[in-house]
């Protein structure tokens, strides 16, 4: 019964605030809190957070999980990841819209898929030295471009054997 009362009061207060936003705002401007009141609330909230650490942590995790499942949450997470990986851009919103609306690899023209796995997964390619965006590519083209940029050349088995034999011949 207590939880029902809490839920009822929470809902009531929310509706009251929505209906009387202007009055409340005006009142707060007319009668601002004193430094003593602000300090008291600061201390009270500090004690509350300390006493309810686990509960607050669970609530924040739940809220964060729900937010990440929304379109806005997915967008924020993707942009955050791009920034972490070093992508530099003036307008990330514009870049995100371009990325979302691109469905073919800009190098090999294969159809791209959303997700974390596969050769056709969508990748945002950027220059690792400057951080500037280059293209939206499939995972295969992005990996190949990365190897080329890093001057990593993969040898075939035949080339490896030939080079090994050549090295052995030169050393002997």
CA 109 remoteness from chain centre: 27
Q: Which residues pair with 88 in a beta bridge?
A: 132
Q: What is the pLDDT of residue 119?
A: 77
Joined together, the tokens standing for residue 21 give 């936003």
The whole-model pTM stands at: 0.55
Q: Which is higher by pLDDT, 170 or 101?
A: 101
Side-chain-facing half-sphere of 10: CA atoms under 13 Å: 6
Span 153-166, pLDDT tens digits:
455 555 555 555 55
Domain spans of the chain, in order of start: 86-149
Longest distance between any two alpha carbons in the chain, whole Å: 94
pLDDT for residue 1 is more than 50: no
Of 104, 105, 96, which is closest to residue 137 (Cα–Cα)? Answer: 105
Span 99-129, pLDDT tens digits:
999 989 888 888 888 877 777 888 888 888 8
Who contacts 115 (Cβ-Cβ below 8 Å, separation ≥6)? 121
Q: Which fold has domain 86-149?
A: 3.40.1800
User: What kind and span of H or E run contains 64?
Assistant: helix 53-68
Span 52-90, pLDDT tens digits:
999 999 999 998 888 888 899 899 999 999 999 888 888
Angle (deg, nearest 10), helices 92-100 and 71-84: 110
Span 81-104, pLDDT tens digits:
999 988 888 899 999 999 999 989
- Distance from C-alpha of 129 to C-alpha of 107, rounded to nearest angstrom: 21
pLDDT for residue 141 is more than 90: no
What DSSP character marks residue 38? H
pLDDT for residue 143 is more than 90: no
């Amino acid at each position: 019964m207590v939880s029902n009362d809490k839920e009822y009061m929470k809902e009531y207060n929310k509706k009251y605030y929505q209906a009387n936003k202007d009055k409340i705002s005006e009142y707060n401007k007319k009668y601002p809190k004193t430094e003593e009141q602000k300090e008291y609330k600061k201390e009270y909230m500090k004690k509350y957070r300390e006493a309810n650490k686990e509960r607050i942590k669970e609530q924040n995790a739940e809220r964060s999980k729900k937010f990440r499942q929304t379109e806005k949450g997915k967008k924020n997470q993707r942009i955050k990841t791009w920034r972490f990986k070093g992508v530099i851009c003036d307008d990330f919103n514009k870049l995100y819209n371009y990325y979302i609306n691109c469905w073919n690899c800009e190098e090999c023209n294969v159809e791209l898929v959303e997700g974390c796995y596969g050769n056709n997964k969508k990748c945002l390619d950027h220059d690792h030295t400057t951080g500037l965006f280059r293209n939206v590519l499939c995972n295969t083209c992005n990996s190949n471009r990365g190897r080329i940029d890093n001057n990593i050349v993969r040898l075939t088995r035949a080339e490896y054997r030939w080079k090994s034999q050549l090295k052995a011949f030169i050393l002997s």
